[in-house]
Structure 1
């Protein structure tokens, strides 16, 4: 799926604020400026993020989205042209203690500010999107309604992955409903599709002159990956267990983008060090052209750093979570923000948080924040990764 809008949500907010200040100051606009602003609104519509246009493209069922040409003058951006900020967080869902978050804005709580501050933000939606279907033969079952996608958008999220072991918790009927929600979603949903081509298809957008592509897949060897893996004519999730197919998707994405992000569901629950299968696929994805390889699943944080030119984050942990996982430090979490300049990771900044008794990630500062940040840095020790620039 492709969105050719070249403006970020943050840049557009600044542009509108500047226009209001000019009006309040009584500064007249020349005919030339009026024409430029009109052109900008013709292109960007209601002033949303690059992901907003995805709602009109039928998600992964449409191979491309064609937008109007960019305006002659684009709003100023905090970073220089060719630089983009990307924010990532972990697993979210709306069930049990977090179900009521669908009625709260922002649903992700105060950490939404960190996600909104980036040009592009992404999380893993650990859930089927359905009210129907049959619970599959597995221990845990998560589901929500399509309202979750709008709630995440209002929390500053620009895209979600559903390539995980809970996307098809309610069988084929639930999968049909999830695909319908994907098609009408206000933000792109990757890693799931009506067939193999759709499930592996990247979301592609342009932000601040940077062409960005996002691919998602699950490496978890479980019931969902075995039973509901997308095929040539079969709906389901994108699987990292089919490594050649995933690598092809990343190489294809690299041919059309400056920056390629691969968001994986991987690792072993409760283990804070990456397994050999994670290290192996991270190396292959780096060689295939991935700028960043990030992911979730273990319910605890894993280390992060640089693998050659590629930023790798082996595990973000829980983020908006229905209950406490039975693992030490499972409530520690945060948002990682990458600054990517001309295709290279320039900085990686971690903003610590702690999942509270309502399942909501709360920012941590002072000694509490340093404790989480220091522990997260120490987790790099078993990854074989180099320290990321900061």
Structure 2
């Protein structure tokens, strides 16, 4: 096949690697509009099961990513003057640019053409491609050209956030909640290399406006955030861009869905197809899993592209449902954070770990905490919780469907 991948992110690059592994004869070009080494972003997170899937797709890539990643098992919450620690599952972090470099180097080694500074704004620029893979992110131009057919919908989140870096190295995945004179503001911090961490700052729009971030310049905004989180940053600075160029804007997260993921020979992948709230840390994992799913569907249906794309869409839509549900509830937890911040720190941290639960928004927080604690001790309560949870989810999904039409992914 002659394949053109638009967007040089993890999804496009890994898809090209897996396809070349299936058949070196595929003619694949990855078009990235930005220069090499100019990726926006700091570090990304993932879990060990992703490495297992990458080993199946291409062992060399998995080995390189694993060797360049840092690991942690603890979660740590800074709430007022207290610090609470919780032992969790093993997690991994890697710099986004280092991840892209590994993928691009492996793709090139296998014969993929990776063209930087190659901006593709329309399918008309790719007349000879049998398949066009739109991996150009949430702002995908190719998707927007067919938004009506694909059934694209975007929902803006309420809170404001900014994606920063810091030289403060967090040994655990760190949450920090600080009460300012205009309301609560918090960050998620995790290291991705020996001397750098990602630091995502979030707050309500009222707190954002009250602190003046709408009018402050970049240097003033960073200085204010460094004062707010002085204790947690331990004297280290916050940083705007990993490549040192440009700025990091304050944003509202956009949850984007599509009724269909393909049209003619165009197929969506990664953030061009779907987004999940950053608080669940699944975006890169889902993009790489999309790449694997698309490559396998094409291999299973080599003679009929529509069947391959339909199979890819069906498999991946079903696979991401639970993550998307968790992401919605996680985002809601932070938008409703005032419900939880008056709890004791240990209780708040426990409910932070339960933020994906469909029950939590409908139960008084302290009651949920005590029931959850009791459920860990008594088998009957654990069984009741396991029985009740899916029924609440089905009820809520049915209510959403009645209000907004067919389920979308």
> TM-score scaled to structure 1, two decimals?
0.31
> TM-score scaled to structure 2, two decimals?
0.30
Higher fraction of helix: 2
